[in-house]
């Protein structure tokens, strides 16, 4: 299978230009992104950095969001996080709650020095697992004026506690860590990294509805791209180790900038957004629950993603 639109899962809007750019994070890792610009842009305009979902690449949902926001007058940078896609970092196919949070700030670094960007009007859009990373970045980086977390996962919480906190106990975490560390030994011995596998290639009859939703996005022409981890062999098995004991939303209650948290009503993951929002403080925070929507609807369904609301919220709070 190949991506539907020459390596991308969506068609570039005729009102937008797309240019490949490179920048680096604080650890010296080269990051690669696509810069989406409105063709009629003049002067300095507001900017957005976009990443996610977790295990996806810039040619998927992040690029679709960036394309749409560029249509609405923003300079929008969809980028591959460290270690995946076209971005640098070795070993490949590994995530980090620290480095991937830093990647958002590195995108702000890049945008803030561009002649066409108003450096006082820079925001973030984080999708799925990178919604949590975006909130973590907002708690750290005071240059970020507004953050949109869409269909958010808290990857540290789900890794440490399981879905719906069903394995939130020391014994379960110990067994998980024991298995992952045994795999570390095997990886080192073999000189290779075992892959965890992406979304399943064939759906079992009893697959949960959210697995069917992921399959419909990542394993069909709708969302498949060649570089996507979720569409192919997945993360390294040991990638999740650092997520077990590094809760990324620890200081989210200290975010002073504006935050819009939006999630589908019928998404299995909706509790992440509800709980994250409950911790936020200040009158510049908003939770938007979208009726009847599932988790992956907010990846690419433009008739469901509330882009008018996103545009309004960004403009009001930048």
Strands 45-51 and 16-24 turn out to be unpaired
8 Å CB contact between 290 and 262: yes
CA 272, 136, 95, 156 torsion-angle sign = negative
* Structure confidence by residue, pLDDT tens digits, 117-150: 999 999 999 999 999 999 999 999 999 999 999 9
8 Å CB contact between 194 and 183: yes
Rounded Cα distance between 155 and 247, Å, is 9
pLDDT at 1 (0 to 100): 87
Strands 45-51 and 30-38 turn out to be unpaired
Rounded Cα distance between 50 and 58, Å, is 8
pLDDT at 205 (0 to 100): 87
8 Å CB contact between 215 and 203: yes
Burial of 227 (0-12, 13-18, 19+ CB in 10 A): middle
CA dihedral 243, 246, 251, 257 (to 10 degrees): -40
Q: Is the pTM of this model over 0.85?
A: yes
Burial of 77 (0-12, 13-18, 19+ CB in 10 A): buried
* Structure confidence by residue, pLDDT tens digits, 79-112: 999 999 999 999 999 999 999 999 999 999 999 9
8 Å CB contact between 87 and 79: yes
pLDDT under 70 in the chain at which residues?
none
Residue 54 to residues 60, 93, 109, 229, 289, Cα–Cα distance (Å): 11, 11, 22, 9, 21
């Amino acid at each position: 299978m190949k991506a539907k639109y020459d390596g991308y899962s969506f068609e570039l809007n005729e009102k937008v230009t797309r240019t490949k750019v490179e920048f680096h994070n604080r650890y010296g890792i080269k990051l690669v992104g696509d810069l989406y610009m409105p063709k009629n842009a003049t002067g300095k305009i507001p900017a957005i950095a976009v990443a996610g979902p977790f295990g996806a690449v810039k040619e998927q949902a992040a690029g679709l969001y960036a394309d749409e926001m560029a249509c609405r007058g923003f300079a929008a940078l969809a980028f591959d996080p460290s270690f995946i896609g076209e971005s640098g970092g070795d070993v490949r196919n590994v995530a980090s709650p620290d480095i991937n949070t830093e990647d958002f700030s590195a995108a702000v670094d890049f945008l803030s020095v561009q002649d066409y960007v108003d450096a006082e009007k820079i925001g973030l859009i984080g999708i799925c697992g990178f919604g949590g990373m975006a909130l973590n970045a907002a708690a750290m980086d005071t240059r970020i004026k507004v953050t949109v977390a869409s269909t958010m996962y808290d990857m540290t919480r789900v890794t440490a506690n399981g879905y719906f906190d069903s394995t939130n106990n020391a014994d379960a975490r110990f067994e998980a860590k024991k298995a992952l560390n045994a795999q570390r030994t095997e990886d080192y011995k073999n000189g290779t990294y075992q892959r965890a596998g992406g979304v399943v290639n064939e759906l079992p009859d009893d697959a949960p509805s959210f697995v069917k939703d992921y399959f419909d996005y990542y394993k069909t022409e709708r969302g498949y791209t060649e570089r996507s981890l979720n569409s192919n062999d997945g993360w390294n098995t040991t990638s999740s180790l650092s997520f077990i004991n590094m809760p990324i939303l620890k200081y989210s209650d200290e975010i002073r900038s504006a935050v819009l948290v939006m999630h589908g009503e019928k998404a299995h993951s909706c509790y992440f957004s509800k709980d994250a929002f409950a911790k936020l403080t200040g009158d510049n925070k908003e939770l938007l629950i979208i009726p009847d929507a599932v988790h992956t609807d907010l990846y690419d369904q433009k008739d469901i993603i509330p882009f008018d609301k996103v545009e309004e919220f960004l403009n009001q709070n930048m």
